[in-house]
Structure 1
């Protein structure tokens, strides 16, 4: 009986902890596992109203996990919008999330001179899901079609879905801006797995990838 109660507590704790998660994917998986355990526990003790409630939560979580899996690489769900660096909404987004952005790109400053021989023209792109902006990619023109990625940031709750990939793979926004290749100068704590997933490979001292036409 004690072992059964421990199992029940584990399910309850997982459900509570899931509600503290900012990332949608992590929330859904933790909530699913907790509700499956809670369904089994309440079945064994005969608490049928709670069996129904937790079983319904299981079905809801499975529905959303399937939907999120289908949408995570769907170019019809995520769009890329090229915007000027002085765009009011872009600046508002960068200001609101400045602390989080600084942890990923501590040297990025949208107002700073990009500092390249080509004049340092910076192109900024908003990644949107419906009417919500979920990320920002900023690329500096280094000349001869080469772009340096200065910022690739996504809101925490969308980070498991890597929506930045749509800037690189699907949208054509980079090609429209005149880029034929990209590079990323490695920084401490760089997510190398993410860079590989979106098509970058290491060459010499930096990450590079061609731009899809």
Structure 2
């Protein structure tokens, strides 16, 4: 039984350590916090079992810090005061910089996006403080806006910043838009939660 207990403790200790290191490799801030919390809880159990109380205290403190950030980030997910939508021109230098920096990531999710064809588009940056959380590019045809790009930067991938463009529909109504259609082949359930309805292989929002 002692042999089993020792191996069980070793598994908990190693598991907590590996999970702690893995959590620090995450770019998604909310996922990082959840994984880090799980690692700290395992290390609390491990260090309490071997009676290393300073490490217990440290991991309890880290667990509480992670919980505080998780609650804060979860509350901000749909909080309009936490995100700012800024409309920029298709030739805006900062927009070009964002699209270049995240070009590889954008290509993973939407390989047919071409940043050189933005002329005539309406472009929106979704900001969280001084960080860019998302980019939305629309092509307006009559009273319909077609989604050319709805991209979330890796750090905010647990959020849905594009929703603030849709929710602040005055931005689109001012251009005479009454209907938004996502890119063909879009299969993201987040659209269901922000007022879109499924129509064929896309989602549609009536403003």
Q: Same fold (TM over 0.5)?
A: yes
Q: Which moved more, 1:11-20 or 1:196-205?
A: 196-205
SS of equivalent to 1:147 = strand
Match for residue 68 of structure 1? Answer: 73
Measured in 2, the distance between the counterparts of 1:52 and 1:205 equals 52
Is the contact made by 2:28 and 2:155 (CA closer than 8 Å) also made in structure 1? Answer: yes
Structure 1 segments of 4+ aligned residues over 3 angstroms from their partners: none
The offset of 1:205, in angstroms, is 4.8
**Structure 1 vs Structure 2 CA RMSD:** 1.6
Q: Structure 2: which 5+ residue stretches go unaligned?
A: 1-5
Match of 2:154 in 1: 156
Corresponding residue for 1:122?
121
Alignment of 1:138 with 2:137, yes or no, is: yes
Give 1:44 shift.
Answer: 1.3
Paired residues for 1:61-100 under 5 Å: 61-100=66-105
Please tell me whether residue 193 in structure 1 is matched to residue 189 in structure 2. yes
Is residue 44 from structure 1 mapped to residue 53 from structure 2 by the alignment? Answer: no
**TM-score for both structures, normalised by structure 1:** 0.89
Contact 2:28 2:154 in 1 (8 A): yes
Equivalent of 2:182 in 170, 181, 184: 184
Instruction: Determine if contact 1:15/1:30 at 8 Å carries over to the other structure.
Output: yes
Which residues of structure 1 form unaligned runs of 5+? 115-120
Residue 102 (structure 1) shift: 1.3
- Which secondary structure state, in structure 2, belongs to the residue aligned with residue 160 of structure 1? coil
The verdict on how the C-alpha distance between 1:59 and 1:204 changes in structure 2, with shifts beyond 3 A counting, is closer
Question: Does the 8 Å contact 1:105/1:150 carry over to 2?
Answer: no
Tell me which residue corresponds to 1:175.
173
